[in-house]
Structure 1
Amino acid sequence: MKIKVFIATTISMCFFIISAFGCPACEKQQPKLFQGLTHGGGPDGFTDYIIIGITVLIVIITLFFSIKWLINPGEKRQNHIKQFILNID
């Protein structure tokens, strides 16, 4: 059962990865920086690049803090709810 799920997931991911890249017709419509990355037209003006930059910055900050707080959550107080659950005796 697990091997069938693994194979189905692998095949699905391969199709997703292949379809994520742009086709030759779409590459001609996009600026040099984004050619081959996505389908459709790329950013039209300077404001689109600002929006993309802000979005990338938000994603990077979110990823940083997610990893940081997963590795070291920092709840060390004795009255924190985590301590209550761990010391249920």
Structure 2
Amino acid sequence: MRKLSLIFFLFLIAQQVINACELCKENQPKALADITHGAGPSGTIDYIITWSAIIIVGLTLFYSVKYLLRPEKRDPDHIKNIVTHEYFR
């Protein structure tokens, strides 16, 4: 329980630190007003780059978890199966 409380407290503190300051809130578009510091996206190309990166990272995360949990190779000695051995559980 103590560990959970510490994680919650650190998460709460981190939220306050990463929120944008008042000046940055004014200079950001409405969608990003309280999220980020700095100049923010300046045009359509910036949004295309950002959303492309989000999609690539999301797909990478999905497939890495998918193939980690259920590797396609069924050979018990295959390197992908190292995480499913008894001593790693």
Partner of 1:75: 73
Count of paired positions: 82
TM-score, normalized by length of structure 1?
0.69
1:54 aligns with 52
Structure 2: runs of 5+ lacking an equivalent: none
The letter of the residue matching 1:76 is: R
Which consecutive residues of structure 1, in runs of 5 or more, have no partner in the other structure?
none
Matches within 5 A, 1:1-89: 11-77=9-75, 80-81=78-79, 82=81
Identity %: 32
Query: Looking at CA atoms only, which structure, 1 or 2, has the larger radius of gyration?
Result: 1
Deviations 1:26-74 (A, max 9, x none): 1110011111011122101111111101111111111111221122122
Describe the SS at the equivalent of 2:53. Answer: helix
In structure 1, what is the Cα distance between the partners aligned to 2:13 and 2:76?
50
Q: Secondary structure at the match of 1:64?
A: helix
Instruction: Tell me the C-alpha RMSD between the 2 structures.
Output: 2.5
